[in-house]
Structure 1
Amino acid sequence: MEQASAAAQTPPTRPALRKKPARLGRGHFRRFGAFYVMMAPTIVFLLINNYIPMVGSLIAFKNIKFAPGETLFESFLRSPWVGLFNFEFLFKTSDAWLITRNTVLYNAVFIVLNTVIGIAFAIMFNSMKNRFLAKFHQTTMFLPFFMSMVIVSYLVYAFLNNELGLMNKVILPLFGANAVEWYSDPKWWPLILPLVNTWKGIGYYAIIFMAAIIGIDDEYYEAATIDGASKWKQITAITIPLIRPVIIVMVLLQVGRIFNADFGLFWQVTRNAGAIYDTTRVIDTYVYQSFINAGDIGMSSAAGLYQAVVGFLLVFTANLVIRKISKDDALF
């Protein structure tokens, strides 16, 4: 009886009301018009700089032939369609496996080093008690990121020059080792190139990860310290899990360019030495050399489109896998 009377006194719950979809009327634009105005410059910039040029991807399916006095657009309209013929340039060449292997493996190593070392330096900077020294080290490490790859190539050449380089003249003699012809011996470059790439770009990744670490509430670390957790335990149980979304985003952004190599790194730093092509030639440098020799703009466009499509598919697939594992950590 008591349950029945309580149920009688309880007012019936109303069914959940469905939200009506927002209509694009005068009231909508009156309310959100300021935001559309703020978005307009960025949208126009993206359309002009990112989306309209995508029409040029059609060049990859044409055999562009220039005639005297013609513009590129006129040549594009007059040139015949060749289907996937330009893509055969990448897949049927004898160096296809070599350049693809080098591009993918180098970028895979770069992703691992940038992520692991970037997180390590970010944690170290954040743990430093002296704020002045922490800022000084951050600035010093970030400086190479702004250097042109041409400058970096000359710095590397100052170390690796066969006759006057610091390695052959000072460092190797200290250990009783013989001089090395660095630009003629390909076996050293799988170590040199990741080292140079990490030195140049690690400051950028360290700053990104440090910004994420700074956003963590100090109460987590205070509670862990009271419970007797060591520094390593705090890093593995608090820091890494809480910055995991940032780590995933940074890795996905790098995965999207795994088929794109840093042209300056592989062209300038190696000084385009033919003796070390087996370990330094990648898709970008190979396409550039072939374009210089053949002057075929269609083949170059096909290579760029191939890299963009594969990069998009890799990002989409990697995000799909992350979404299956942890939906909250997915990028989209």
Structure 2
Amino acid sequence: MVVAFKQRLRNVSKSKWLLFMTLPGMMFLFIFNYIPMFGLLIAFKDYKYSQGILGSKWVGFDNFKFLFATEDVWRVTFNTLLLNGLFIICGLVFSVALALLMYEVKNRVLSMFYQSTYFLPYLLSWVLVGYFAYAMFTTEGFANQIMSWFGLESISWYTSPEYWPFILVLVSIWKTAGYTSIIYLAGMLGINTEYYEAAKLDGASKWQQVISITLPLLMPVITIMLLLQIGKIFYADFGLFYNVTRDSGMLYSTTDVIDTYVFRMLRKIGDFGMASAAGFYQAIVGFVLVFISNLIVRKVDKDSALF
């Protein structure tokens, strides 16, 4: 044990400058991710500004009881799971497909141009994307103009909640697929080209090469990305659901999620305890989903698991 401890000290001494370089990142995580966890106490207290977190009255699980007693929490939970599930599945399909298309572009200049073009929407703020969507789906917007060209009746999009799951999925894919496709493209570039050359000699088509070589070798990257996204399945993208829908009350039945619900609670009634309870609920369920998903992956392929 003493010998092993001395060996670890020597390893730390050799890597001291590399460890020193990680210090800013570790400080960032500690300040913005670990210290705020102290605020979870608010979920179990009747929080008052004047009394502070520690001085506020302890109410136990009363905030959770009030949260789950409302019908809204089940609606927003269902919407959060359904929409984020659609984002994960559709985003994976489109991102991998986009990466496959970019992988086939052999011209370096064109490849860089396409990657930059697909990545650009990811850099736009949701506020700006929300205005784009409004210009598209307002009563006199581009979507209704296209429908009128085909002799179809115009739709009042912002009072028709049944269309918005599809609209939100399309907007999410447009904005994020380019970013995630670059991750999958990087995984494809790491595949040994000799596999494809051998497949060509055997007469394999492009589609057969994708099915038999690219996707199986890309599966570890896909698995890790899916596990990370499942961990955030209870955390909706607030900018997407608030700005693109313009917080329209007519759309709440299909677009209201936990994050927008908590925001409205804070803005309208200022109930920090209940809002914190909802956040705590998100964190616990997210952790459980990641743990279960990782356990399933370990049973199927141990090397693809996160831990």
* CA distance in structure 2 between the partners assigned to 1:151 and 1:123 by the alignment: 29
User: Taking structure 1 as reference, are residues 29 and 200 closer, same or farther at Cα in structure 2, changes over 3 Å only?
Assistant: closer
Gaps of 5+ in 1: 1-17, 68-73
Q: Match for 1:284 among 259, 263, 267?
A: 259
CA–CA distance in structure 1, aligned partners of residues 245 and 42 of structure 2: 31
The DSSP-based 3-state class of the residue aligned with 2:47 is: coil
Q: For 1:64, what is the secondary structure of its paired residue?
A: strand
Write the deviation string for residues 11-49 of structure 1: whole angstroms up to 9, x where unpaired: xxxxxxx99533378655543433432333332222222
Alignment partner of 1:254 out of 212, 229, 241: 229
Which residue, out of 119, 124, 129, partners 2:101? 124
Shift of 1:288: 1.0
Structure 2 equivalent of residue 157 of structure 1: 134
Match of 1:56 in 2: 39
CA deviations on 1:129-160 (whole Å, 9 max, x unpaired) are 33322222221111110101010010011111
After superposition, give the CA deviation of every residue in 1:206-259 in whole Å (9 maximum; x if it has no partner). Answer: 111001101111111000100111111110111011111110111111101111
Verify the 8 A CA contact 2:223 2:304 in the aligned structure 1: yes
CA distance in 1, matches of 2:272, 2:6: 47
Partner of 2:158: 183
Q: Give the structure 2 partner of residue 197 of structure 1.
A: 172
* Amino acid in the other structure paired with 2:92: T
2:193 aligned to which of 218, 221, 229: 218
1:166 aligns with 2:149: no
* 1:183-332 mapped onto 2 (5 Å cutoff): 183-332=158-307
2:86 to 109, 114, 132: 109
Distance 1:229 1:272 in 2: 51
Q: Do structure 1's residue 90 and structure 2's residue 60 form an aligned pair?
A: no
Higher mean Cα deviation, 252-261 or 34-43?
A: 34-43
Deviation at 1:88, TM superposition (A): 2.2
Give the Cα–Cα distance (whole angstroms) in 1 for the partners of residues 224 and 11 of structure 2. 33
Asked if structure 1 preserves the Cα contact closer than 8 Å seen for 2:76 and 2:258, the reply is yes
Match of 1:4 in 2: none
CA pair 19-177 structure 1, distance change in 2 beyond 3 A: farther
Name the CA distance, whole Å, in 1 between partners of 2:291 and 2:11.
33
- Which secondary structure state, in structure 2, belongs to the residue aligned with residue 159 of structure 1? helix
Gaps of 5+ in 2: none
Number of matched residues? 307
Deviations 1:82-106 (A, max 9, x none): 1111112331111122111100000
Q: Per the alignment, do residues 128 and 62 of structure 1 end up closer, same or farther by CA in structure 2, a change over 3 Å counting?
A: same
Q: Which residue of 1 aligns with 2:4?
A: 21
Which one has the bigger helix percentage? 2
2-side partners of 1:19 and 1:209: how far apart?
Answer: 44
The separation in 1 between residues aligned to 2:10 and 2:101, in whole angstroms, is: 52
Q: 1:55: Cα distance to partner? A: 1.2
Retained in 1: the 8 A contact 2:39–2:53? Answer: no
Q: Percent identity?
A: 49
Residue 99 of structure 1 aligns with which residue?
76
CA distance, structure 1, for counterparts of residue 240 and residue 194 of structure 2? 43
2:136 aligned partner, one-letter code: F
Q: When the two structures are superposed, what TM-score results if normalisation uses the length of structure 2?
A: 0.95
Q: Deviations over 1:250-299 (max 9, x none)?
A: 11111011111111111111111111211111111111111212101111
Counterpart for residue 33 of structure 1: 16
1:65 — aligned with what? 48
Alignment of 1:141 onto 2:118 = yes
Question: Which TM-score applies when normalising by structure 1?
Answer: 0.88
